[in-house]
A and B are shown apart, each in its own frame.
Chain A
Amino acid sequence: MKKETTNNQAELRTDKNHGMERRDFFKILGGGIFIFFRPWNALDLTGQQAGQSKSLPKDYNAFLRIAEDGTVTCFTGKIEMGQGIITSLPQMMADELNVPLEKVKMVMGDTDLCPYDQGTWGSLSTRVFGPYMRAAAAEARGVLLGIASAQLGVPVSQLDVKDGMITDTKNPKNSVSYAQLTKGKKIEKFLDVKPPVEDYTKFNYVGKSYNHSDAIPKVTGEAKYTGDMKLPGMVFARILRPPSHGAKLKSVDYSAAEKIAGTKVVRDGDLIAVINENHDRADEAIVKIKAEYSFDEMPVNDKTIFEWMLKADSSVNIVRSNGDIEAGRQVSDKVFDSEFHDPYLAHTAIETHTALARLEGDKMTVWASTQSPFGLRDGIVRELGFPVEKVRVIAPFVGGGFGGKGESQQGIEAAKLAKLTGKPVMLVWTRNEEFFLDTFHPAGVVKIKSGIDKSGLIKFWDYNLYYSGTRGSDTLYDVPNSKTTHYGQKSGGAPIHPFGTGAWRAPNNNTNTFAREVQIDIMARAAGIDPLEFRLKNLKDEKLIACLKAVADKFGYKPGKSTGGRGIGIALGTDAGSWVAHMAEVKVDKNTGKVQVIRIACAQDMGLCVNPEGAIIQMEGCIMMGLGYSLTEEVLFEGGNIQNRGFDSYTIPHFSWLPKIDTVILERKDKPPQGGGEPAIIAIGAVIANAIFDATGARLFRLPMTPARVLEALKKV
């Protein structure tokens, strides 16, 4: 049995905590067994190449605690923002440790209590944090079995463990529970040889569907988000913002603001804020500040940005290359040359960036809506000069992130204001600030040259990506001659993006999958081959082929060569270790250009699926959210001035858009779990664009596919 690897010489400790990062840990938590994770051994469990995991922090440690009452507390620096890991991580813990699921509690996103974590993004919680947690749980179980072996006087190989109870298989009365073993003791030890994690066939909880464990507090209003915190003496703050990115403050007069009852104006360099115990008064005061700015803006707007990027002096990097593009061109019967444009996008979580900061003595505590509590902690350390152990960041429930809450500027601002005023400061960004200060999905251009031979096989693929990221830019199809080139910001050169950009759900993959899958569709049509058949013909990736077949089956796809008002599109891609294929049906109003998506089906291979219900919810969310970037979402700007700063001018999906949604998760229980929060969004733009073409013959190269752009494309049919 795997348990034989246990080192029986358990060293019981009551005082020392070797290797603990936080000295306060025991003080805060009291007794219990602590097991250290061993990331370097867990790495091979992720099913990824070592090189791909370089984003992992080097000192990645995580902990679990088994308390006297048998409760297992799982600590993670990850946060819960709706993606559902508060439900799925305990499933993994319970199975690996062999304890009842209801005994597992989560402590998340608290930098004083939880192991270091870079941030909750990239669909990494299950596929990368998960294996560490499972490895730690396996080791914990091994340690406990070793101690039980000594106590029960039988070899480990004769012990079995179920629901936190260790039993002598030859004498079931001879048993001891985890809780009895841990009672009043702190034990810290490692196993010399790490036990393997459980085989999927032994799982009780993983692979079964569970409702979100945080649903009840969320439907009663009891769930606490950062803005729901309240401290004695707390004041609300509003910060003076420039009218545009790049504007510089010339002069400021805040005498009128100070006349608003209870208002204090505070300033630290360019940070100018009003504080007031009353939220509305702070709102009133901030608009009374008279400020003048000088402008030195970049001469670019949402219409000229693509040409701006193509003309820029860029750093050129060949991402991947095989064969010879020119040789491929020579053997091609038809050659295609397309240019795709993708705009800046806003995140627009319904909870705006919020932070509450309190300085008590020399310790700064910040509650914040953040995807990266440790990143914010380090930011406060950097910008305010606090020692790291004097800063604690806590992320309560986060009201949506989508990549937009990684920077956490609001947390640093609140901390500065708490230091300046000596009071607990609550800072809730307005919706206007949220749109202005966002780290937008970057605009980008993709230029593709490709060719097919007479039989419809792709012979070359020359893919050029400008100022977007390379995630999802893989060729995927079996092409003998291909090259992917990235044109990006030149080191030391003038900035190309006129404002901050960052991750946006499946960062840049939406851009790349849109371009690739539309180009594939163009070639299929030119070859006179059904787009599904064309893809199957040019694919070798068995997982993509399986996804395509599964989605076609679910969708009830019937092949068709010509356009004729069918309105059915196909697209596929890979993201976060998972594979997806989509089919969609749309209706296009040729008079108005309005597109209504009737139905979308998606098949996903995500390896072992921990919580199928939770995974399906993520797929549904990806599909519905994806309609936004496909059809309406686009940041309008002139220089650094963001022009659409409200839900009336930046339109996200509404209920009336809801299509019929069908999802399939492929059975892959024997494979490592992969990402689930992002993959199903990547192909939405392409699947709709291809469906629009199928309906009308109009080809869209520009996102979002607004009525005006659809009408424009219809003119060319």
Chain B
Amino acid sequence: MEETIKFQLNGKKTEATIDPTQTLLWVLRNHFGLTGTKFGCGMGLCGACTVLIDNEPVRSCQLSVGDVAGKNVVTIEGLATNGKLHPVQKAFAEHDAVQCGFCTPGMIMNATGLLLKNPLPTTQEIKDGMENNLCRCAAHLRIVEAVQTASKEMKGGK
């Protein structure tokens, strides 16, 4: 039943000998100890478990680990480089776009995916792109502002 699944995880070649039908979210959390990716609903409806797969924001609760064989998976832990925060992380902190923080990793991963596709989104495009990531503390205003700031910084420097 177990297979060896090979993929890229946070920039490193990775393999796991595992039942390929296991949910990617729980494999990331329990097998790899990457607990920044959160369980919020298990139905793909809240976005707390969002990771990047080949630069696309994806709900990891809706995928099996077998689905990512050969792919490039980035979690919130893989976003900072050499201890330097990613511009989206930095902007979230600077704008205080964080309250309880539980939706935050998924928000940041979704925003990063959005900016990879559309480096200079309008406010409306940010809202559209973030629409289905849920934040119950309702930090939406600052999240939009953070994505705007990150967009400027990424366009400018990175």
A interface residues, Cβ below 8 angstroms from B: 81-84, 211-212, 214-225, 227-228, 230, 278-280, 347-352, 397-402, 428, 430-431, 613-614, 617, 620-625, 646-648, 652-658, 661
Contacts and interface: CB of A to CB of B under 8 A. Distances in A.
A208 to B, nearest CB: 14
A-B CB proximity, top 10 nearest: A221-B36, A399-B102, A82-B100, A82-B99, A218-B101, A624-B138, A221-B76, A228-B35, A647-B45, A431-B41
B102 A225 contact: yes
Place the interface of chain B in its size category. 35 or more
Given A652-B136, A653-B138, A399 B43 contact: no
B69 to A, nearest CB: 18
B96 A215 contact: yes
B72 interface: no
A212 B137 CA distance: 14
B66 to A, nearest CB: 13
Given A228-B35, A397-B101, A655-B144, A350 B134 contact: yes
B9 to A, nearest CB: 14
A613 B99 CA distance: 12
A221 B99 contact: no
B3 interface: no
A400 B42 contact: no
Contacts of A430: 42
A400 B142 CA distance: 17
B41 A218 contact: no
B22 interface: yes
Summarize A's interface: helix, strand, loop or mixed. loop
B96 A647 contact: no
A397 B104 CA distance: 13
A81 B100 contact: yes
Contact of B136 (A222, A280, A349): A349
Given A221-B77, A351-B100, A647-B134, A624 B140 contact: yes
B101 A214 contact: yes
Contacts of A654: 131-132, 134
B36 to A, nearest CB: 2
B52 interface: no
B57 interface: no
A648 B141 contact: no
Contact of A400 (B30, B100, B126): B100
Contacts of B60: none
A617 B102 contact: no
Interface in B120-158: 126-128, 130-144
Q: Is the interface of B mostly helix, strand, loop or mixed?
A: loop
Contacts of B98: 82, 212, 214-215, 218-219
A394 to B, nearest CB: 16
Interface string B89-128: 1101110101111111100100000000000000000111
Nearest to B129: A655
A431 B40 contact: yes
Nearest to B102: A399
Given A227-B38, A621-B99, A621-B139, 5 more contacts: A82-B98, A219-B90, A350-B103, A352-B39, A623-B138
Contacts of A620: 138-139, 141-142
B101 to A, nearest CB: 3
B127 A658 contact: yes
Contacts of B102: 225, 349-351, 399-400
A656 to B, nearest CB: 5
5 contacts: A218-B93, A221-B77, A654-B132, A655-B127, A655-B130
A217 B94 CA distance: 13
A234 to B, nearest CB: 9
Interface in B18-50: 21-23, 26, 29-30, 33-43, 45-46, 48
A220 B96 contact: no
Q: Which of A219, A220, A280, A352 has the most CB of B within 10 A?
A: A219
Contact of A220 (B38, B85, B133, B136): B85
B137 A82 contact: yes
B137 to A, nearest CB: 5
Interface string B68-94: 000000011101100001000110111
Contact of B93 (A219, A351, A622): A219
A399 B38 contact: yes
A230 B36 contact: no
A402 B144 contact: no
Contacts of A81: 100
A223 B99 contact: no
B41 A647 contact: yes
Nearest to A624: B138
Given A84-B99, A211-B96, A661-B141, A222 B36 contact: yes
A687 B108 CA distance: 32
Nearest to A215: B93
A598 to B, nearest CB: 14
Contact of A349 (B21, B29, B100): B100
A397 B98 CA distance: 13
A513 B93 CA distance: 34
A215 B142 CA distance: 13
Contact of B38 (A84, A214, A351): A351
B100 A224 contact: no
A624 B43 contact: no
Nearest to B146: A219
A220 B134 contact: no
Nearest to B36: A221
A212 B100 CA distance: 10
A225 B101 CA distance: 10
A279 B89 contact: no
Given A348-B136, A617-B99, A621-B139, A646 B92 contact: no
A657 to B, nearest CB: 8
A653 B79 CA distance: 28
Nearest to B100: A82
Contacts of B90: 219
A399 B131 contact: no
A349 B46 CA distance: 11
A155 to B, nearest CB: 45
A648 B45 contact: yes
A400 B126 CA distance: 24
B111 to A, nearest CB: 11
Contacts of A656: 127-128, 131
Interface string B45-65: 110100000000000000000
B137 A227 contact: no
Q: Residue among A220, A227, A351 with the most chain B CB within 10 A?
A: A220
Contacts of B89: 219-220
A622 B99 CA distance: 12
Given A211-B93, A219-B104, A220-B85, A617 B41 contact: no
B39 A655 contact: no
A81 B144 CA distance: 21
A85 to B, nearest CB: 12
A278 B22 CA distance: 9
Given A400-B137, A620-B142, A428 B93 contact: no
Contacts of B41: 431, 646-647
A350 B48 contact: yes
Contacts of A399: 38, 100-102
A652 B132 CA distance: 11
B136 A402 contact: yes
A620 to B, nearest CB: 5
Contacts of B94: 211
A347 B138 CA distance: 13
A84 B99 CA distance: 7
B14 to A, nearest CB: 17
Contacts of A621: 99, 137-139
